[in-house]
Structure 1
Amino acid sequence: MIKLISASERHEAQVGDWLQSHYLFSFADYYDPANVQFGPLRVFNHDVVAGHNGFPSHPHAEMEVVTIVLDGELTHKDSIGNEVTLKAGDVQRITAGTGVSHAEANDTDNTAELLQLWFLPNKRGLAPSYENMSLDFLDVHDKLVPLVTGQKVLDNVPFLNSNSTVYFGQVTQGQEIDFKTFKIRKTLVYVLSGSLLVNNVEVDRHDQVRLEQKDVVSLHGAANATFILVDVPATEANY
């Protein structure tokens, strides 16, 4: 099965004059019972935060929260003592576990662009924890780069308490990447720029495609393209 969801079908949310968000799944005031999650992937938001603004401190529990900075920078503070400035090319993972509060602020004059993904964990009752890495993924060519993973075959990326992996990808026009997977898993591809043919389905900027029961996901550059690929189990314990 392959399902194309166009950019116009994302839910757009404007918060004052400081935050522009697009939700790929039900979130906040947007609820669609047919679009709540994809495997353990519960939230996928594409945010642009104005300068000298940000998300005030707020609580989470029993969730893996992943932040991917595409442009600009954010300062992270949390209730377990972390204070870190994240820049473009950085990836952050918060295990909310039994409970944590955090805030993200753009203290610069420029906008910050980020993706935030939430995964339901494969273990409950975990102690809150935090990890971030500078992965410099934005300049790769014709490859997939893992950004965060719970699959232990991948090293040197933040660890996720979910049997899932998030990749950043780039493919040049006319080139192709084959992502090998299994029919017991699901794949979501979200195009950040350019245009892809994903298993021969055209996927343009800010479109997404969701695939199930595939052995291979073929990513062909219809134009130079950057994208996020999320590989998740079809089912996972404890959610």
Structure 2
Amino acid sequence: MLRKIDHTKMGRSNLGWLQSIFHFSFAEYYNPANINFGVLRVINDDLIASQTGFGTHPHRDMEIISYVVDGELTHADSMGNQRSITRGEVQYMSAGTGVLHSEYNYGKNTLRMLQIWIIPDERGYTPNYGDYRFNWDDRHNKWLHMVSNKDGDAPIRINQDVNFYSLELSQDNEINFPVKKGRQAYLVQIEGTSNINGNSLTARDGLEIVEEDITIHAVETSHFIVIEMSTEIE
């Protein structure tokens, strides 16, 4: 089963310094029929103006993944971490029993990032932070496995049965992605346009995929992220 989510019909917010598209209910956008997809709770497609950002604020009991599309993201937290990442790189934070952090764009250009929240498999983990500077070419016309569960083999491992993949697919190329029985995935067309099993996607569209293999055809060079998980919330 596939369901396309048109980005023009998603929740939106414009605070001047921050412009956001919400794939799921968040902040002032509330839709009781659109709270989550499995353990995937949040995907916010954020544009953050230069020299602005999110001031220090708390989180707990959530696995938070930030994926930079353009620009530079600087993270600081109450565990003493302060790190910056750029295009195609990832930072992750297990909020666990509670952590304070901030996220800023100290660069000259607008920052575009995907903020993704995953419901953990248990509450009360010890807070943790990390980041990974993936080589951009490692996702060129092939799937780059970025995130897995604690027993998986991805460079980033979090407290839930999920897998994150990214891909840059050149124009007119095709690639498959299998979604087995008992599994589902959420795809974001980050950049470009594509056709996936007869569905036309443009930049910022989403696609729910349940127990169905997909074939992606890049109408123009395209950039994707896929979050694959169980059909059950653990």
Q: Is the 8 A contact 1:93 1:159 kept in 2?
A: no
Shift of residue 193 of structure 1? 1.7
Structure 2 partner of 1:58: 57
Distance 2:40 2:129 in 1: 19
CA shift for structure 1 position 151:
6.4
Does structure 1 residue 232 correspond to structure 2 residue 229? yes
Q: Which moved more, 1:203-212 or 1:91-100?
A: 203-212
CA distance in 2, matches of 1:151, 1:197: 33
Contact residue 166 and residue 223 of structure 2 kept, 8 A: yes
Question: Structure 1 residue 143: deviation in Å?
Answer: 1.1
CA contact (8 A) 1:151 1:165 kept: no
Pick the aligned partner of 1:187 from 185, 208, 212: 185
Secondary structure at the residue paired with 1:8? helix
The residue number in structure 2 matching 1:13 is: 13
Counterparts in 2 of 1:199-238, with a 5 A limit?
199-214=197-212, 216-237=213-234
Shift of 1:212: 1.0
Unaligned ranges ≥5, structure 1 = none
1:21 alignment partner AA: S
In 2, the alpha carbon distance for the partners of 1:153 and 1:77 equals 27
Give yes or no for contact 1:89–1:138 (8 Å, CA) kept in 2.
no
Instruction: Tell me if structure 1 keeps the 8 A contact 2:138–2:144.
Output: no
Aligned counterparts of 1:138 and 1:209: Cα–Cα separation in 2: 24
Inter-partner Cα distance in structure 1 for 2:127 and 2:66: 16
Q: Distance in 1 between matches of 2:137 and 2:40?
A: 23
Task: Identify the residue that residue 107 of structure 1 maps to in structure 2.
Answer: 106
Q: Distance in 1 between matches of 2:150 and 2:202?
A: 29
Q: Which moved more, 1:140-149 or 1:38-47?
A: 140-149
User: Do the aligned residues in 2 keep the contact of 1:95 with 1:130 (CA within 8 Å)?
Assistant: yes
Runs of 4+ in 1 over 6 A off after TM superposition: none
Q: Structure 2 CA distance, aligned partners of 1:34 and 1:59?
A: 26
Deviation at 1:200, TM superposition (A): 2.2
- Identify the residue that residue 4 of structure 2 maps to in structure 1: 4
Q: Which runs of 5+ in 2 are unaligned?
A: none
Is 1:73 matched up with 2:72? Answer: yes
Q: How does 1:89-104 map to 2 (within 5 A)?
A: 89-104=88-103
- What letter matches 1:11 in structure 2? G
CA apart distance, 1:89? 2.5
| Alignment partner, residue 38 of structure 1 | 37
Partners of 2:92 and 2:66 in 1: CA distance: 7
Question: What secondary structure is seen at the aligned counterpart in 1 of 2:8?
Answer: helix
Normalised to the residue count of structure 1, the TM-score between the two structures is 0.93
Deviations 1:105-143 (A, max 9, x none): 111222111111000001221000011110133673211
Paired with 1:164 and 1:139, the residues of 2 have a C-alpha distance of: 20
User: What fraction of aligned residue pairs are identical, expressed as a percent?
Assistant: 34
Question: Is this contact kept in 2: 1:137–1:168, CA < 8 A?
Answer: no
Q: 151, 172, 179: which is aligned to 1:174? A: 172
Check whether the contact 1:163–1:236 (CA below 8 A) recurs between aligned residues.
no
CA RMSD of aligned residues (A): 1.5
Equivalenced residue count is 234
